[in-house]
Amino acid sequence: MSTMKKSVEKSVSITVRFAGDSGDGMQLTGDQFTDTAAAMGNDFATLPDFPAEIRAPAGTLPGVSSFQIQFSESIIFTPGDQADVLVAMNPAALKVNIPNVKKGGLIIVNESVFTENSLRKASWTSNPLEDNTLIDYQVLKIPLSELTKNALKDHPLKLSEVERCKNFFALGMLFWLYSRKMDHTISWIQKKFSKRPEISEANVAAVKAGYNFADITEQLPVQYEISKAKLEPGVYRKITGNEATAIGLVTAAYLAEKTLFYGSYPITPASSILHILAAYKHYGVKTFQAEDEIAACGVALGASFGGQIGVTGTSGPGICLKSEMMGLAVMAELPLIVLNVQRGGPSTGMPTKTEQADLLQVMFGRNGESPICVLAPKTPSDCFDMAVEAVRIAVKYMTPVVYLSDGNIANGAEPWKLPDLDKLPAIKITHPTAGTDGPFLPYKRDPVTLARPWALPGTPGLEHRVGGLSKADLTGNVSYDPDNNQKMINYRAEKIRRIANDIPLIEVHGPDSGKLLVLGWGGTFGPIYQAIESLRGEGREVSHAQLTYMNPFPRNLGDMLARFEKILVPELNMGQLLMLLRNQFPGRNFTGYHKMQGQPFKAQELIEEISKHL
Amino acid sequence: MSTENAAKPEGKLPFVKADFESGQEVRWCPGCGDYAILAVMQRTLAQFSIPREKYVFVSGIGCSSRFPYYMNTYGFHTIHGRAPTIASGLKSANPDLVVWVITGDGDALSIGGNHLIHVMRRNMNVNIVLVNNRIYGLTKGQYSPTSESGKVTKSTPQGSIDYPINPISIALASEATFVARTVDSDPKHMGYVFERAMQHKGTSFIEVYQNCIIFNDKAFAPVTGRETRDDRAVYLEHDKALTFGKKKDRALRIKGYKPEIVDLTLEKNADDLLIHNEKDEDTGYSYFLAQLKYPEMPVPLGVFRAIARPTYEEMLNAQVEDSMKKKGKGSIKDLVYGRETWTVN
């Protein structure tokens, strides 16, 4: 029973950040909060932010794992710049995350663990709960560990197991604070621990205890409500980029009436695509965990040669290792999809952090003139559409296609309005059979697409050899003839250029001409869009376009750029798209904005940067 | 030319060697051992009733890796060391194909060492011919991973300081289910080994001692020469004693952990001779054979190991079928909708 009358206020958008040790279950807690936001009809976007170390020493700064979600009654595009509420499970989580909280925001700390020892582990020289460190914030000191222990004192669990329930206590508190229903999480717990009823009951009790504690405590005088978002009518599910990529690939194979073959070597943050696809064998998917990145690309190319949809996936340094095999795919002119979930580099870099700095690598990082099609999905759900596109283009043009996702959209989740499956166009593939009109010519090209025929081993009468040596036109035989070489180089370049006739035009958000266009690419869509929305809401005149077809560019890009006095190109690299644009569209006024901190853009920093150019 | 031999009329059996000749001009050096390997391969395939469109020859880089161009089958001349990966993907995609990997000592054991190990441990049903001439031919004569220590080449003017590795040992350590060795100068034996490899289900690994007439002439001559091989090689036959010599008057046995040569003219009734067992699951015995080296011991030729194990592609496809059986064939709607959805009106 609450002893005080609490008020209920409406709120539009809230950003919550959960932070704790890698072993504290912060990603799981965030996922549960997200699922509930979805079930309650909010729009949302998430940002998991975790270390590469599996379990860094407990209580230390490198071991802090965080999960941020913005949920809203309006349409949102980012996981929020800074949190309205931070839940910090220990001193290290607090230290790492103070910069991620809005001034005046609420910080809920697990007071139980602010001991001398754990403060020292987190490099605090004095207790931040007792000095002026948190003077700009509302601080709620809650002995989460103690309260959880008390709540579960009648449950037959070991102390270490009780300790592990405290994240659910914290989750329960936030459920109350934002008027959330608990039933989704409760049924999830019951299902997850169905074989261990004592664990299930304790976790359910912890959620409820947290909820009731928040309801009773006088430290939380206000409860907030966030209404349903006015999303477009339709059926929705929660989706991360890597999930959408996997589902898109399987769907594309289905549309092409082909088997999907995925060759990969485990690497963060691409591995979950392998895990997801490995569990999709009942959709006919074959997965192959190869001995290394090169082999992963090789088996995918071998499967393509054999007539399946060969896909390989990687991240960071893995893409370097695949380069030579990608060059072979260019020469052999076989379909191949290469997923690159970009992460912080160079070298091993920051495996769990995001970046967009592999664009020039995939454009040019092969020996010789080796043009390749490059796509870049812009949001988690867009990964579905672009994965289907990658397959469509690869098989139609007999070319490798690189798909540049990034760590941010790969792990971030958002609501996905499910497509009308009956309206997805079939991907038409024709394999030649022995004809009567003369010998088979493996390099005879389609006059429109310039694609060569995809003749499958096992087809009588079409025996032929392909390979990495320079190819004679039509026959594909080895040829070092100078004129022929020039001709084949030209064909391969022209084939990629012609893809531009077969992809959507780029669209401008805002006026289609004017003083300033902000041109982003791939996974930076959310914060750029949000920034432009804010500025336009204030009456500023600025437009936005987001490239998702990186090579070739949409055929109207040049015309669009010509209608703006200045083009600002924000990228999570040091100016790679900028370099391509300056080369292809000389005379246009481009300016870059670069950030390489392993973090996505914040809408606010973009607002500030864009404002400088207005 | 890729297509000079247009489709052979269906049902025309048996095949002849010419059915497998692509008609492209063969460009190995005159006297190269690869000519013999090519001819034996073409003759061997002609003995089977498998149509040529079912064969795929996959190679890496090196002299021997030009092989696919000369076979009138499907072929893929890939990149250095990576042929086993392409072959693995291909065989996984279409298990009906008969896939041969043609590689060399540099391609397979140096740049492609990792892939060679893994294709064998997976027991992918492909046939691997490792053409070993103990030298880099295509790059004009540098030492290879099988070159003897002290080898003087352009890249090792003072002699190489690496120790060589033994391809058969690598194959056994990688759990290859069929391991054999043959020589380019004995087409009959090579044909026998290729035929056995064709019949074996699982990875077949064949080392061929091959002579590079330009950069490493007569590297194996002491063992493989017509005059000497009866005395210096021992031909492995399952369930038979390891006898050798022109008159089969010598044999092998194990004393302690070491091999010993038995002179049968002196020990006519020796009952402790080593009996060859290619079916031994344990690689201890076959590894012992792999260590027999000239000049101390006769060099084994033939099948070291041939054991039955399920193949990778068989199990991969079984897992797919099994999942479909257990979970039901997945529908795209289930896939896209997932476990939880909500509706906005």
In this prediction, residue B177 carries a pLDDT of 98
C-alpha–C-alpha distance, residues B272 and A332, integer Å:
57
Q: Fill in the amino acid letter for A78.
A: T
- Report the residue of chain B nearest A440, measured CA to CA: B3
Using a CB–CB cutoff of 8 Å, tell me whether A257 touches chain B: no
Are the beta carbons of A104 and A136 closer than 8 angstroms? Answer: yes
In this prediction, residue A55 carries a pLDDT of 80
Are the beta carbons of A181 and A33 closer than 8 angstroms? Answer: no
Using a CB–CB cutoff of 8 Å, tell me whether A380 touches chain B: no
Tell me: pLDDT of B8 over 90.
Answer: no
In this prediction, residue B5 carries a pLDDT of 40
In this prediction, residue A1 carries a pLDDT of 47
Confidence tier at A118 by pLDDT (50, 70, 90): very high
Q: Is A462 exposed, middle or buried (0-12, 13-18, 19+ CB in 10 A)?
A: buried
pLDDT more than 70, % of chain B: 97
Cβ contact (<8 Å) for A477 and B117? no
Tokens read off for A282: 């009942």
Tell me: pLDDT of A3 over 80.
Answer: no
Question: What angle do the packed helices B83-93 and B312-327 form, to 10 degrees?
Answer: 40
Confidence tier at A232 by pLDDT (50, 70, 90): very high
Return the CA Rg of chain A: 27
C-alpha–C-alpha distance, residues B194 and A150, integer Å:
74
**Whole-model pTM above 0.90?**
yes
Tokens read off for A96: 């790492």
In this prediction, residue A5 carries a pLDDT of 77
Domains of chain B: 17-219+310-319 (3.40.50.970)
- Quote the mean pLDDT of chain A: 96
In this prediction, residue B138 carries a pLDDT of 93
In this prediction, residue A283 carries a pLDDT of 97
Cβ contact (<8 Å) for B335 and A250? yes
* Nearest-by-Cβ selection for A235 from B1, B72, B343: B343
Are the beta carbons of A552 and A375 closer than 8 angstroms? Answer: no
Which residues of chain B lie closer than 8 angstroms to A192, CB-CB? Answer: none
In this prediction, residue A574 carries a pLDDT of 98
Tens digit of each residue's pLDDT (9 = 90 or more) over A125-171: 999 999 999 999 999 999 999 999 999 999 999 999 999 999 999 99
C-alpha–C-alpha distance, residues A49 and A64, integer Å:
9
CB neighbours of residue B163 within 10 Å: 9
Question: Which of A265, A331, A431, A463 to mutate: most B Cβ within 10 Å?
Answer: A463
C-alpha–C-alpha distance, residues B307 and B309, integer Å:
7
Tokens read off for B94: 């279409």
* Nearest-by-Cβ selection for B344 from A233, A259, A290: A233
Query: Which of A87-96, A382-391, A604-613, B1-10 is the least confident region?
Result: B1-10
Tell me: pLDDT of A492 over 60.
Answer: yes
In this prediction, residue B225 carries a pLDDT of 86
pLDDT more than 90, % of chain B: 90
Tens digit of each residue's pLDDT (9 = 90 or more) over A278-314: 999 999 999 999 999 999 999 999 999 999 999 999 9
In this prediction, residue B12 carries a pLDDT of 60
Name residues 21-40 of chain A within 8 A of B (Cβ).
35, 38-39
Tokens read off for A189: 């717990």
Query: How far apart are the CA of A252 and the nearest CA of chain B, in angstroms?
Result: 10
Tens digit of each residue's pLDDT (9 = 90 or more) over A567-606: 999 999 999 999 999 999 999 999 999 999 999 999 999 9
In this structure, what are the phi and psi dihedrals at residue A33, rounded to the nearest 5 degrees? -65, -40
Question: Mean pLDDT across the stretch A81-95?
Answer: 97
CB neighbours of residue A166 within 10 Å: 28
A310 pairs with which residues across the strands?
Answer: A261
Which residues of chain B lie closer than 8 angstroms to A391, CB-CB? Answer: none
In this structure, what are the phi and psi dihedrals at residue A509, rounded to the nearest 5 degrees? -100, 115
The closest alpha carbon to A54, from A45, A66, A65, belongs to A65
Tens digit of each residue's pLDDT (9 = 90 or more) over A22-53: 889 999 999 999 999 999 999 999 999 888 88
Name residues 560-599 of chain A within 8 A of B (Cβ).
none
Q: Fill in the amino acid letter for A408.
A: N
- Give, as one character, the DSSP assignment of residue A600: P
Tens digit of each residue's pLDDT (9 = 90 or more) over B23-47: 889 999 999 999 999 999 999 999 9
Tell me: pLDDT of B258 over 80.
Answer: yes
For chain B, what's the residue count? 345
Question: E strands of A73-117, at which residues?
Answer: 83-88, 101-110
C-alpha–C-alpha distance, residues A285 and A300, integer Å:
13
C-alpha–C-alpha distance, residues A328 and A344, integer Å:
27
In this prediction, residue A437 carries a pLDDT of 78
The DSSP annotation for A367-409 comes to SSS---EEE---STTHHHHHHHHHHHHHHHHT-EEEEEEEHHH
Tens digit of each residue's pLDDT (9 = 90 or more) over B221-244: 999 888 888 899 999 999 999 999
- Residue in the block written with tokens 């902000």: A518
Tell me: pLDDT of A446 over 80.
Answer: yes
C-alpha–C-alpha distance, residues A399 and A502, integer Å:
14
- Report the residue of chain B nearest A475, measured CA to CA: B2
pLDDT more than 90, % of chain A: 96
Using a CB–CB cutoff of 8 Å, tell me whether A277 touches chain B: no
Are the beta carbons of A276 and A242 closer than 8 angstroms? Answer: yes
The DSSP annotation for B234-267 comes to EEE-TTSB-EESTTS-EEEEEETTEEEEEETTT-
Q: Is the ipTM of this complex over 0.90?
A: yes
Query: Which of A6-10, A119-123, A188-192, A451-455 is the least confident region?
Result: A6-10
In this prediction, residue B4 carries a pLDDT of 38
Cα A487 to Cα A494, A576, B248: the distances in Å are 10, 29, 63
Cα B14 to Cα A39, A129, B17, B18: the distances in Å are 68, 89, 10, 12
Which residues of chain B lie closer than 8 angstroms to A478, CB-CB? Answer: 69
In this prediction, residue A555 carries a pLDDT of 98
Cβ contact (<8 Å) for B324 and A468? no
Tens digit of each residue's pLDDT (9 = 90 or more) over B51-63: 999 999 999 999 9
**SS percent in chain B: helix, strand, coil, step 5:** 30, 20, 45
Cβ contact (<8 Å) for A457 and B74? yes
Question: Mean pLDDT across the stretch B274-295?
Answer: 96
Confidence tier at B136 by pLDDT (50, 70, 90): very high
In this prediction, residue B73 carries a pLDDT of 97
Cβ contact (<8 Å) for A291 and B333? no
Domains of chain A: 7-225 (3.40.920.10), 237-422 (3.40.50.970), 514-612 (3.40.50.920)
